[in-house]
């Protein structure tokens, strides 16, 4: 497996997440890069904010080679030719000639596809070619369960470097994480705060009070100590900074056990609705709200 420079430890590089849920703030991305030391920006074609991220990276003044840009291929773009076109489109919108990481966004494909397994494997081979051509430095998947990963592993020349999934104390897929670890696939977690729903949990609040920290910092710290790179997202500058200030305190073994034993009852992303969204596509970024748009050129 080809090495990926950011994966060695979860604290090596802070990740700033973007999506079409909750809005996009130009100032938050610039602040994260320029003032808080974030260097990994996670996005997706589907979110509709790639071109705004390009403007934010430029405005931050941080050199391109210091920024780890990751984006994703939407299932309606799966296929040898269409995946390459989608990749090139993302590069164009991000104003780059290479990507640091490119992921398959979901394992589901259009219902009209006769051989879904073949399409996934063909699409993965396209990512392998892009990797071989040095147009991307790391390739991976998102929201893949064990059975989906098996399809890729059955035919792949390059094992997925990353599997990015929902991850917080109330949705902690331990068996999937172990499956990935056994195959040298880095498990990466999005929605570490469960879209804010985990912040009010009494157990989380009690741990936060014991450390003089915010519940959000406790949740991000839990991800760090679980060896899972975390992708927090916020449009508020104070939260952007706070989410990166989690390396000067340690959760006790008892606190980790408390968080690890939370009831698994909270899912932010409805996997069952994804097929309908793929079969009845709306425009990329259809939900995007510009909380703070970039300034007019």
Residues 149/153/159/164 CA torsion (nearest 10 deg): 0
The pLDDT assigned to 179 comes to: 98
Tell me if 24 sits within 8 A of 52, measured CB to CB: yes
pLDDT digits (tens, 9 = 90+) for 240-272: 999 999 999 999 999 999 999 998 888 988 888
Can 38 be counted among the known catalytic residues?
no
Helix (H) or strand (E) holding 139: strand 139-142
The one catalytic residue in 24, 31, 47, 52 is: 47
| Residue range(s) defining the domain that contains residue 60 | 15-262
3-class SS of residue 295: coil
pLDDT digits (tens, 9 = 90+) for 67-118: 999 999 999 999 999 999 999 999 999 999 999 999 999 999 999 999 999 9
pLDDT digits (tens, 9 = 90+) for 162-217: 999 999 999 999 999 999 999 999 999 999 999 999 999 999 999 999 999 999 99
Tell how many helices (H) and how many strands (E) occur in the chain. Answer: 11, 10
Domain count, the chain: 1
pTM of the model: 0.93
Backbone angles phi, psi at 26, to 5 degrees: -60, -45
* Percentage with pLDDT > 90 across the chain: 80
Tell me if 80 is assigned to some domain.
Answer: yes
The pLDDT assigned to 290 comes to: 83
Tell me if 291 is assigned to some domain.
Answer: no
The pLDDT assigned to 23 comes to: 77
Tell me if 272 is assigned to some domain.
Answer: no
Tell me if 281 is assigned to some domain.
Answer: no
DSSP code per residue over 67-94:
-EEEEEE-GGG-SHHHHHHHHHHHHHHH
* Long-range Cβ contacts of 82-86 (<8 Å, 24+ apart): 83/123, 83/126, 83/127, 84/126, 84/130, 86/45
Rounded distance between C-alpha atoms, residue 142 and residue 17, angstroms: 14
Tell me if 157 is assigned to some domain.
Answer: yes
Q: Is 105 annotated as a binding residue?
A: yes
Q: What's the rounded mean pLDDT across residues 24-53?
A: 94
Tell me if 143 is assigned to some domain.
Answer: yes
Q: What is the CATH number of the domain that holds 50?
A: 3.20.20.100
- Which of 30-39, 120-129, 143-152 has the least mean pLDDT? 30-39
pLDDT at residue 14 tops 80 = no
Tell me if 216 is assigned to some domain.
Answer: yes
Tell me if 193 is assigned to some domain.
Answer: yes
Q: Would you state the structure tokens that stand for residue 181, as one six-digit string?
A: 């670890």
pLDDT at residue 11 tops 50 = no
């Amino acid at each position: 497996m080809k090495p990926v420079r950011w994966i060695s430890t979860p604290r090596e590089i802070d990740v700033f997440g973007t999506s079409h849920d909750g809005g996009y703030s130009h100032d938050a991305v610039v602040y994260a890069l320029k003032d808080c030391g974030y260097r990994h920006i996670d996005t997706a074609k589907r979110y509709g904010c790639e071109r705004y991220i390009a403007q934010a990276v430029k405005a931050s003044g941080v050199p391109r080679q210091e920024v780890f840009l990751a984006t994703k291929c939407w299932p309606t773009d799966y296929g040898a030719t269409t995946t390459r076109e989608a990749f090139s489109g993302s590069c164009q919108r991000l104003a780059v000639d290479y990507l640091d990481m490119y992921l398959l966004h979901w394992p589901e494909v259009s219902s009209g596809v006769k051989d879904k397994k073949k399409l996934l494997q063909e699409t993965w081979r396209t990512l392998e070619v892009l990797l071989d051509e040095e147009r991307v430095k790391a390739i991976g998947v998102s929201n893949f369960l064990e059975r989906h990963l098996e399809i890729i592993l059955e035919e792949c020349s390059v094992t997925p470097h990353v599997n990015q999934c929902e991850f917080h104390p109330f949705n902690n897929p331990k068996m999937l994480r172990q499956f990935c670890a056994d195959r040298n696939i880095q498990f990466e977690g999005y929605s570490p705060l469960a879209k804010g729903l985990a912040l009010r949990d009494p157990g989380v609040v009690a741990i936060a009070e014991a450390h003089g920290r915010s519940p959000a910092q406790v949740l991000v710290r839990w991800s760090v100590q679980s060896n899972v790179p975390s992708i927090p997202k916020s449009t508020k500058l104070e939260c952007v900074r706070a989410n990166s200030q989690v390396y000067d305190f340690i959760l006790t073994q008892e606190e980790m056990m408390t968080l690890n034993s939370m009831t698994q009852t909270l899912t932010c992303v409805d996997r069952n609705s994804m097929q309908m969204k793929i079969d009845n596509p709306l425009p990329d970024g259809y939900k995007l709200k510009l909380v703070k748009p970039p300034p007019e050129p």
